[in-house]
Amino acid sequence: MILNGEDALKKHLKQNMPAHLYFIYGDEDYLKSNYSMLIASKITDTSGSGFNFYQFNSEMTFDMFYEACESLPMMADRICVFVKDMPLNKLTDAELKDYEKLLSDLPETTTVIFSMVTVQVDKNTAKWKNIIDMFSKYGVCAELSKRNMQSMVKMLVSRAGQAGCSISPQNAQYLINVVGDDLNRLLGEFDKVSAYASSREITAHMIDEVAVRSVETSVFDIAKAINSADGDKAYRLLGELLKQKTEPTLIVGVLAGEYADLYRMKIAGKYGGSLREISTEFSYKNREFRLKNASRLCKSYSEKRIKKVMEAIADTDIKIKTSGADKTMILEELIAKLLLLMGKTR
């Protein structure tokens, strides 16, 4: 069985007894971690003193796994074998066959959970496709993607009430835009802001004062400053990122993504492609707002201009990775080039 999304998994857990096998993956670490432990807690005591909870990581051997799966529960109906972040794609075909043989015939008293919290599962590779097929054949595969904006706003408004303060939907969305949509990071920054607000309403000013901006947000603001020919702001934001010890390669990578959005929407407009088609083709699920922003902005620039920008970013990436030159200077040179390119006649 394959369950696509948080709602499908919620419904499954509400309507059914936990299955004997789960494979939890996706691009939202917070949800993967929380739902994996929720399933485990429905089966047995997951505290350190739990006799029926066997927890493993990437160091697990097949023999350790086999022994745990075949164990009998003590004063309970089931045991839970919980495997976190095991890179199954690195196993040989023969090793995977051993796992499949065991997972296809688990004891009635055993539930196995493979939770890919930090391991990224690329469904486009043959190895991971086969692994997903194996788990869905004998159990439940649940893919947990990032929540959409509406869902995250609702969560923050509710969380504010629980913390004894309040936040408007507009400011909840502003916080998301500032710190990013990674739930671990978002909730951590929200807790800081709510503690600062105490019993007051959380304002945009409080968010600016307390919350740490994500790299993605800061780089987006750099691109926005470049496109507005505001060199002072672009250099100031770059300086803040470097002061936070942000890796130059990460800055360049995120900047490349910003202009890739622009290029994709420019080409889509040229050949009649829709925003929905681009979103599907390049996996923008729950990030469609990026394409909407790019769609508006790309009308002001020629395809040739955007290509030159992307070439400059690619050249900078190579230079940072291969030359011994000062990386701060390389980044500052890139900002200067982009200001010249984006500031010329469009």
pLDDT at 343: 67
Q: What topology does CATH give the domain 215-343?
A: Zinc Finger, Delta Prime; domain 3 (1.20.272)
Domain 2-144 has CATH 1.25.40.10: no
Please answer whether residues 57 and 84 qualify as being in contact, where contact means their C-beta atoms are separated by less than 8 angstroms: yes
Please state, in angstroms and rounded to a whole number, the distance separating the CA atoms of residues 267 and 310: 14
Rg (CA), the chain: 24
Q: Read off the pLDDT band of 276 (50, 70, 90).
A: confident
Model pLDDT, residue 224: 87
What pLDDT is stored for residue 346 in this prediction? Answer: 39
Q: How far is CA 129 from CA 122, 137, 270, 309, 314, in A?
A: 8, 12, 34, 36, 31
Q: Which residue has 């004997």 as its token pair?
A: 20
Q: What is the mean pLDDT of residues 250-255?
A: 91
* Max mean pLDDT range (3-12, 39-48, 135-144, 173-182): 135-144
Contacts of 186 (CB under 8 A, 6+ apart): 152, 156, 175, 176, 179, 180
**What is the percent of the chain with per-residue pLDDT over 70, rounded to a whole number?**
97
Cα distance between residue 226 and residue 234, in whole Å: 6
Please tell me the class of the 149-210 domain.
mainly alpha
pLDDT over threshold 90, residue 272? no
pLDDT at residue 49 in the model: 58
CB count within 10 Å of CB 245 equals 6
Q: What is the pLDDT of residue 345?
A: 39
Q: Above 90 in pLDDT, residue 157?
A: yes
| Residue 137 CA: distances (Å) to CA of 70, 124, 319 | 20, 19, 47
- List the chain domain ranges: 2-144, 149-210, 215-343
Amino acid type, 148: N
Give dist(CA 24, CA 3) in Å, integer. 10
Tell me the range of 39-53, 109-123, 272-286 where mean pLDDT is highest.
109-123
Structure pTM?
Answer: 0.72
CA distance 83 to 208: 39
Give yes or no for a contact between 36 and 143, defined as CB atoms under 8 angstroms apart: no
Of residues 285 and 173, the one with the higher pLDDT is 173
pLDDT at 75: 84
